[in-house]
A and B are shown apart, each in its own frame.
Chain A
Amino acid sequence: MKTVYLDNNATTAIAPEVREAMEPFFRDMWGNPSSMHTFGGQVRKHIEQARQQVAALINADPSEIIFTSCGTESDNAAIRGAAEVIGPRVNVITSRVEHPAVLGPCRYLSERGHRAFEVGVDAAGQIDQVQLGEFLREGSAVVSLMWANNETGVVFPIAEISGMVKAAGGIFHTDAVQAVGKLITDVRAVPVDMLSLSGHKLHAPKGIGALYIRKGTRVKPFMLGGHQEDNRRAGTENVPYIVGLGVACELARAHRADEFVRMATLRDRLQSGLLASCPDTRVNGDVHHRLPNTLNISFEFIEGESILYMLSDVGIAASSGSACTSGSLEPSHVLRAMGVPFTAVHGSVRFSLSRYTTEADVDYVLAKIPPIVSRLRAISPFVRKQ
C-alpha cells in the first residue's frame, strides 16, 4: 500500500545524510569530548562544527548556541532560567495557544509566586497585541511567544512583538521549534533574546534540541553538575545527535531557497482541492501568515479520530485536534482559544508536509479523502438534510 506521511509537525523522517553523518559516532568515534586524549579530542571539533551549522541556519554566532536534549528542555531552560535571574517575583507572559512545553513551565512558575499572563488570540489565531501591551505595562517580564503554531501553522509577527517586549524592558524567548527550517528565522533581524529549536522537527532524530541565547542575556543554567556547553548546560554531550542536528540544519539551509515555495504550492493545492471536493469544510488559522507546510482544516459533522483511522487504513498519516485523539476529553486548546466552534474543532485535521512530500502524495490524499468524508457523514446524525 502507498503511504503518505503528512504529520511532519509531529515528527519528521530522519534524512539519510543525517543518519550517515551520525554513524561513525556510534562505531569508532565514541570518545568523551572533554577527555585529554585523542579518543575524545577528535570528537570535540565535530561538536563545534555542528554548533556552527546550527548557528548559520538562524544567523547566530556559534557561541550563542547550546545543545539540549529536546525542544521542551530548551523551553524550560529559557523560561525558568530567565525568571530565576530576575528575582523571586516576576511577570511571565505567554499566549493561550503555546505548546505545552511553554505553558507547562509558565504555569509552574505561577504556582510558585510568579505572576503569569496568557495573551489571547483572534479568530485567525493572531496574537492580541493590545493585550500584550497591557500585560507588558504590569512590570518587567519574561515573555515567551511562539514563532509559529504547531497546530495551525499561524506565524506570529515576531519582529513586532519582540520589539514591543524589548522596548518595555522584558526578556523575550520564542519557541521556534516549528518555524526553524520552514521560515527564515534570523536572530539578527529580530531582537529575540532566546530561541528554542528541536532536531526531530527538521529531519534529525528525536532527543536533540538547541537553545539560542543572545550574547549578554543572563540565564541561570537549568541542568547543573558539569562544565559542558560553557557551564550553561551540564551533562556529557550527546555527540552523535549533535552531529546529526548540525547536518540537518545545514540541509535545511541549503534547501530553503526553493523548498519554502515548493511546500507552500503543494499545501495550497491540497487546501483548494479539499475545499472544492468536500462541502462544509473550513480552514483554521490566518492563511496570510502561515507556515508553508501546514494545513489545519475542519470537516463539519464528523469526528477527527474516525477520520484519522480511515485515513490510516489507506496509508495516510495526519493528526487531529479532536478530544478523542488528545488523550484527554478536552479538544485542542489552540482552536478553542481562536473561538473555533466545537463542531469544527472535533472534525479538525492537520496535514503537515515536508521536503519529502511529493505532488503525487498530495494527489493521492485528494483522491482518498472525499469518499471517507461522505462515508462518515452518512453515519452522522448532524448532516444537513439535502
Chain B
Amino acid sequence: MWEYTDRVMDHFRNPRNVGMIDKPDGVGEVGSLACGDALKLMFKLDKGGRIVDVKFQTFGCASAIASSSALTEIIKGMTLEEAQKVTNQDIARYLGGLPEQKMHCSVMGQEALDAAIENYRTGKTDKKILAGKVVCNCFGVTEEEIERVVRENGLSTVEQVTNYTKAGGGCGKCKDDIAQIIERVRVERLAAERKAGGQAAPRRLTVIEKIRLIEQTIDREIRPLLKNDGGDIELIDVEGNCVKVALRGMCAGCQVAKFTLKDVVEVKLREFVASDLVVEEVKE
C-alpha cells in the first residue's frame, strides 16, 4: 500500500466537484485509458471572470482522483490569470504531499487545467497540445512537458522525471534524452542565476535560508557525486561563512578527500549558495 496522507484518502473517498457542467466555458482533457489515468476538467465563469463552477471526471488510482478533487477546490473562485499560476506543487501541497512515484497525478491536474483554459481562450479541443518533440513514446510525453516539470519542481534525476510525468517508465529507451533535458535546464538555470547576480546584488540570505540552501545543495548537487564513489557527506554546522562537514563512507580517510572538499564541495556550495563560503572538514 502507498503511504497516502489522510487528506489524500479523504479526497479519494469523498471527491469534491465530480461530474459535468451544462455548457461549460472551458473543457480540458488529458491522459488516456492506455496510460492508466485520465482527467476531464470543465469550468464555468461568472460575469466578473471568476471560476464559479468547476467539475471533473477521473479515471485513475486513488491519488489521481484525490489530485483532481483538490485541484477543483483550489481554483474555485479564481480568475483564469490566478488559476494559470497554480502548479502541480500547489496540488500536492494541498493534499499534504504525495508519494514521489505519484507526483505525475498532480502534474496531470495542472495539464488538464492548462488545456481547459486554452480551450476557453482559443476554442481548441485537442486532448493534448503536442508542442515540440515527443520524447517518451510509451506515454506520449513531450520535450516541453519534461522541461516544464524539471524547471518548476527543480528535478535533478531521470527517476524523478518518471515519477512526475511517467516519461521513461515504459521501455526506458528515452532515459538518455531525459537526462539531456535535465542537464540543459540546469545549465540554463545557472546561466540565468549568474546573469541576475551580475546585474543586481542578490538579496542577503537569512541564516535559516542559508542553511536550508546549503542542505539542499548538498542533497541535490554534492551527495550524488560522492555516492558514485561510495562516499557520503554530512553537514555538521555553519558558522558565518564557514561550512563544517564530515565525510562518510569511502570518502572518510580517502587520500584525495582534501581535493574533494575544495574541488567539489566548496565549488558547488559557492556556485549555488554564496561565493564567499569556506568548507572545513570536521574529523571525529
Contact = CB atoms under 8 A, between A and B. Distances in A.
Answer yes or no: do A and B interact.
yes
B162 interface: yes
Nearest to A329: B169
A34 B40 CA distance: 67
Contacts of B12: 306, 309
Nearest to B69: A379
A294 interface: no
Interface in B52-68: 57-62, 64-65
Contacts of A381: 29, 38-40, 57-59
Contacts of A303: 36-37, 59-61, 64
B44 interface: no
A305 interface: yes
B62 A329 contact: no
Contacts of B29: 381
A382 B58 CA distance: 9
Contacts of A312: 1
A343 B33 contact: yes
B170 interface: yes
B65 A329 contact: no
Interface stretch (A19-27, A194-202, A212-220, A320-328): A320-328
Contacts, number: 69
Given A329-B169, A330-B169, A379-B18, A324 B36 contact: yes
B36 A331 contact: yes
A305 B162 contact: no
A301 B61 contact: no
A222 B2 CA distance: 35
Contacts of B58: 379-381
A306 B169 contact: no
A11 to B, nearest CB: 15
B253 to A, nearest CB: 32
B65 A306 contact: yes
Contact of A330 (B13, B62, B170): B170
Contacts of B170: 329-330
Interface string B38-82: 111000000000000000011111101100000000000000000
A379 B34 CA distance: 18
A305 B13 contact: no
A325 B38 CA distance: 16
Contacts of A342: 33-34, 36
A359 B29 CA distance: 44
A378 B18 contact: yes
Contact of B61 (A313, A324, A380): A324
A346 B166 contact: no
Given A329-B166, A381-B57, A305 B38 contact: no
The 9 tightest CB contacts between A and B, nearest first, are A329-B169, A305-B61, A324-B61, A381-B57, A381-B40, A342-B34, A323-B36, A343-B33, A380-B59
14 contacts: A302-B59, A303-B59, A305-B62, A306-B60, A310-B13, A312-B1, A324-B37, A329-B162, A329-B166, A343-B33, A346-B36, A379-B58, A379-B59, A380-B57
Interface of B: 1, 9, 12-13, 15, 18, 29, 33-34, 36-40, 57-62, 64-65, 101, 139, 162, 166, 169-170
Given A306-B65, A313-B13, A324-B60, 6 more contacts: A301-B33, A305-B62, A329-B169, A342-B36, A380-B58, A382-B33
